[in-house]
Structures are given as C-alpha cells and as structure tokens.
Structure 1
Amino acid sequence: MTKQLILFRHGKSDWGTEGLPDHDRPLAKRGIKAAQHMGKLVATADQIPDLVRSSTALRARTTAELAMTAGSWPCPLELNPALYDTTPLATLDFLRMTPDSINRLILVGHEPTWSTLASLLMGGGQVQMPTGAMISLELGLDSWATIAPDRGCLHWLLIPRLFAN
C-alpha cells in the first residue's frame, strides 16, 4: 500500500509566559481549539493515521494529544526529541526508519522545517503552513526506506481558520 505522510504544525503557542524555554511553551487558547478541531476533521475525512510521532516540545505534544482525543484516533503516539530541532534532510532520515506496516503517518512539529520538507517532497513550490495546519502528501512508494525528494504529491492542505466556527 502506498505511503501517506501528514505534516501537522503545532497549534498557536502562548508567548505570554515569561522565562520559559522555547521547548516548554504551552498552547494558547486558539491553539487548543485548533488542535481539537483538526483532530475531528481528520476523523471525519477518514484520514486517521496508523501512528502519530511528535516533537517533545510541549506545544507539539499537546497539539498531538488534543487532536487524537478530539478525533478518537485509536493509534499510538510516539514522542521523539529529534523532531524538535530538526532539518528537512534529517527528518527524511528519520522517516526512512519507519516500519512499512505504517501506511499513514502524522508527524507533529515545527516551522520552518515542515513547510520546507513539504516543498522538498513535492519537488518544488513554496508551502507555508500557519500554526495548526496539516498537509497530506501521497508518496507513491511502498517502503518508507525509499522516501526521497520529489516523491510526494499534494493530497490536501487543511488550515484551521478556514474551518473556524
């Protein structure tokens, strides 16, 4: 079965918490609502992943947990510190280690890596992912070990503010 990668940028973070390291910044109220809404959208669209992998940053981890709960995703969540301060090429190396039993994978992380990675996988163009956005790429491959630039095709792009109540 062909592989599908969904990149999920964490929700809007709260910048009003003085003295916290970047890694420990929480979500703002808007980020909480967006994460929950996106989780429900994924479930409604029958796009529930086999696995969610998230950066260990509080705002990314919380985004993943809220989306999974709101959408009732029955998949595991793996937290990985390598996704916090990564690059597109390092993320490709990380993806190559994904078991082939996983067909639909969601990575929850950060900018500018996610937009750059999406552009790289699509072979060009310029993607901009606002907070809380998801982009789905059909990779046209049977094994994560073969993921490479120019192997992805845009399947969909969801931006929370387009679906706001």
Structure 2
Amino acid sequence: MTLRLILSRHAKSDWDNPLDSDHTRPLSARGLDAAPRIGRWLAETGYLPGQALVSDAMRTRQTWDLIAQELPNAPAAAFDNFLYLAGPDVLMGRLRQASAPCVIVIAHNPGIAEFAHRLLAVPMAHPGFNGFPTCATLVAEFYAPDWAQLEFGTGRGVDFTVPRDLL
C-alpha cells in the first residue's frame, strides 16, 4: 500500500510581543500570507490529507487553519502537545499511530528538518530542503502496509515547495 505524508513546518511567526511565550507566539503578517499559498498548492496538486497531526502551539494551529481553508473536505486536526518542538523519534512515533492513507504533520524546526532528512532514501534536490524554512512542505510516499510499519530511510520524495516558490 502507498502511504503519503505531507510534512510542513509552521509559517513565519511573530516575535513582536515580548509577553508571548514560545508556545503562544502567533503568525506574523508574512506567515498569514504564506500558509494559504501552501494550502492552495496542496489543493491544486491533489495532495489532500485525510488526517492532520498538528503541534498544539499557536503558530502551528494557525498554519493548519489557513491551509485547511484552501482544501476541499479538510479533516479536523488532532492538536498534539507531543509534536511541540518534537525531534525525529517523537515525530515518527506519532506518525506511526496515523490511520489515513494521506496524513499531514505540521511541526517545528529543528526536529522537522531532521525528520524529513531521516525519512527519505534520497534527499530532495530543492535548495530549501536542507534548512526546511518556515512553511516548507515536503510530500513523500512510502510503500508500507500501514503507518505502524514505517521505517526511516524508506520514503520517496515526491514534491517539495516553500512559499517563495508559489508567488
């Protein structure tokens, strides 16, 4: 069975309010513009998630809300505190619990960049892939019977974009 993962880093966050904790930082104006572009790109290319696993931080919640508004039949998100600043092993553990054939995960750097690198057998050639900038989005496919059987290094990169590519 082919499983598809859409892996997105949250959009650009706002650092202007010194009273915001890292967990409660909202998106900046740039982030509010970028996330819908990613949603439109996903819709136009047919990368439609059936399940959304999203860090419970404010910036990841807002990123998902803006992406979801652009998708037909977007699923309700599962907001997960374990995805907040998670490393690759935690991200893998949460993904292995997924059930839909196409899943979107929205989380944070540096964990999401390392996770993307460890998932793929061959890295994406896109210049943004190494750093995984804000709102970077990877689409990868895996040939596995279910998410519980997923292993690092078995993914095939199908697509990768950053908001700047979509201007």
Aligned: 1:122 with 2:125: no
Aligned: 1:111 with 2:109: yes
Q: 1:51·1:77 contact (CA, 8 Å) conserved in 2?
A: yes
Q: Judging changes above 3 Å, is the alpha-carbon distance between structure 1 residues 81 and 120 closer, same or farther for their aligned structure 2 residues? A: same
What TM-score, normalized to structure 2?
0.92
- After superposing the two structures, state which structure 1 stretch, 23-32 or 82-91, moved more: 82-91
Deviation at 1:52, TM superposition (A): 1.1
Deviation at 1:122, TM superposition (A): 1.3
**Aligned counterpart for 2:158 among listed residues 151, 155, 160:** 155
SS at match of 2:2: coil
Read off the aligned partner of 1:58 and give its amino acid letter. Answer: M
Q: 1:12·1:30 contact (CA, 8 Å) conserved in 2?
A: yes
Read off the aligned partner of 2:148 and give its amino acid letter. Answer: A
Q: 1:7·1:134 contact (CA, 8 Å) conserved in 2?
A: yes
* Deviation digits for residues 49-107 of structure 1 (CA, Å, limit 9, x no counterpart): 001111000000000001101334432211111100211011111111122xx111000
Task: Extract structure 1 runs of 4+ deviating beyond 6 A.
Answer: none
Deviation at 1:123, TM superposition (A): 3.9
Read off the aligned partner of 1:46 and give its amino acid letter. Answer: G
Aligned to 2:78: 78
Read off the aligned partner of 2:103 and give its amino acid letter. Answer: L
For the aligned residues, what is the CA RMSD? 1.4
Gaps of 5+ in 2: 124-128
Aligned to 2:126: none
Aligned: 1:60 with 2:60: yes
- After superposing the two structures, state which structure 1 stretch, 150-159 or 124-133, moved more: 124-133
Aligned to 1:28: 28
* Deviation digits for residues 9-42 of structure 1 (CA, Å, limit 9, x no counterpart): 1000001111211000000011011101111110
Deviation at 1:124, TM superposition (A): 6.2
Aligned to 2:89: 89
State the alpha-carbon separation in 2 of the partners of residues 141 and 131 from structure 1. 29
What TM-score, normalized to structure 1?
0.93
Gaps of 5+ in 1: none
Q: Give the total of aligned pairs.
A: 162
Q: 2:4·2:101 contact (CA, 8 Å) conserved in 1?
A: yes
State the alpha-carbon separation in 1 of the partners of residues 39 and 122 from structure 2. 28
